[in-house]
Amino acid sequence: MLLRRRAWDIVRDEYPVVKMDDPLAEAIRKLNACAFEGCLCALVEDHNGRVKGAVSIWDTMRFMEDTLLHGDGMKCLDENRYEQMFTNACKVSGSISVKDVMDKDMTIVRPDEPLLLVLEDFVKKGRSYAVVKEGGQVIGVIMINDIYREISDQILARG
pLDDT tens for each residue of 116-155: 999 999 999 889 999 999 999 999 999 999 999 988 888 8
Domain residue extents for the chain: 7-158
- Better pLDDT: 67 or 99: 99
H or E stretch at 97:
none
Beta carbons of 144 and 40 less than 8 angstroms apart: yes
Beta carbons of 110 and 7 less than 8 angstroms apart: yes
Q: At what angle do helices 57-69 and 79-95 cross, to 10 degrees?
A: 130
Q: Can you give the pTM of this predicted structure?
A: 0.85
Q: At what angle do helices 115-125 and 144-158 cross, to 10 degrees?
A: 130
What pLDDT, on the 0 to 100 scale, is given for residue 99?
96
H or E stretch at 22:
none
Superfamily grouping for domain 7-158? CBS-domain (3.10.580.10)
User: Residue 36 pLDDT more than 70?
Assistant: yes
Q: How many CB atoms within 10 Å of residue 31?
A: 20
% of the chain at pLDDT higher than 90: 64
